Amino acid sequence: SQQGEEDPQALSIQEGENATMNCSYKTSINNLQWYRQNSGRGLVHLILIRSNEREKHSGRLRVTLDTSKKSSSLLITASRAADTASYFCATGSTGNQFYFGTGTSLTVIP
Amino acid sequence: DTGVSQNPRHKITKRGQNVTFRCDPISEHNRLYWYRQTLGQGPEFLTYFQNEAQLEKSRLLSDRFSAERPKGSFSTLEIQRTEQGDSAMYLCASSLGQINTEAFFGQGTRLTVV
């Protein structure tokens, strides 16, 4: 079963704008990971945030985590056409597997 | 080591045939995962290894599916008597055997059952 749910399902923005996507989950977690997937390809790991962290940055990426609301957000600043992809959150809890959401499809228009 | 490697990248098979996929994880990673992804969906967990031990299997994994990881290195996923519903992308990931460590994915094997 999939625990995470991304919102929106699809997002279209102009190059240079910021893109924000959200992930909500249902149960307690140890960590949350964000991945990018280009069409028909494998998943590229973007960032991992632990349950005791509230915010994390990596280049143009900013991830926040609010465990009280069971939600996370991924912000991509100054978007580029190459950022066009699907973005997934994956939650890790006390089990050994991690669960993915349904993804947000981002289109960046040049 | 350039990352997780999966072979083949694509496989087309006739219904009823058996297929086997291979995954080579990042060399120092002792955890290995298999996921399945259908079009428009997120990856679904299938099974997980800690070294050579298969520690967890999803209810999605029917008796026609079997996975092995001999010697705790590469892993194989076999599907027997394939059905059209098995058509999907099969993804392998690996990670260090510690909590809160990143999992890295291979490029996947796309299976088409005709």
Q: Residue A67 pLDDT > 80, yes or no?
A: yes
Q: Kindly report whether the peptide bond that precedes residue B70 is cis, defined as omega within 30 degrees of 0.
A: no
Q: What is the pLDDT of residue B72?
A: 85
Q: What is the pLDDT of residue A109?
A: 97
Q: How far apart are CA B112 and CA B12, in angstroms?
A: 5
CB A88 within 8 A of CB A101: yes
**Locus of tokens 């050579």:** B52
CB B34 within 8 A of CB B47: yes
Residues of A in contact with B8 (CB under 8 A): none
Measure A1 CA to nearest chain B CA, in Å: 7
Q: What is the mean pLDDT of chain A?
A: 92
Q: What is the pLDDT of residue A5?
A: 84
Q: What is the pLDDT of residue B6?
A: 97
Tell me the average pLDDT across A81-94: 92
- Between B98 and A15, name the one with better pLDDT: A15
Give pLDDT tens digits for B39-85: 989 999 999 999 999 988 888 788 999 999 998 899 999 999 999 99
Q: Which of A35, A89, A96, A104 to mutate to test the interface with B (most CBs of B within 10 A)?
A: A96
- 3-class secondary-structure state, position B87: coil
Measure A14 CA to nearest chain B CA, in Å: 23
Residue (of B114, B111, B94, B113) closest to B36 by Cα position: B111
Give pLDDT tens digits for B4-37: 999 999 999 999 999 999 999 999 899 999 999 9
Give pLDDT tens digits for A16-57: 999 999 999 998 899 999 999 998 788 999 999 999 999 999
Q: In the structure encoding, which two tokens stand for residue A43, read together?
A: 């998943």
Interfacial B residues in 19-78 facing A (CB < 8 Å)? 31, 33, 35, 40-45, 48, 50, 55-56, 58
CB A32 within 8 A of CB A92: yes
Q: How many CB pairs under 8 A join A and B?
A: 64
Q: Residue A1 pLDDT > 70, yes or no?
A: no
Cα-based distances in Å from A20 to A74, B19, B28, B32, B41: 6, 40, 34, 31, 20
Q: Residue A74 pLDDT > 90, yes or no?
A: yes
- CA-nearest residue to A89 within chain B is B42
Q: Do the chains contact at B100 and A92, CB–CB below 8 Å? A: yes
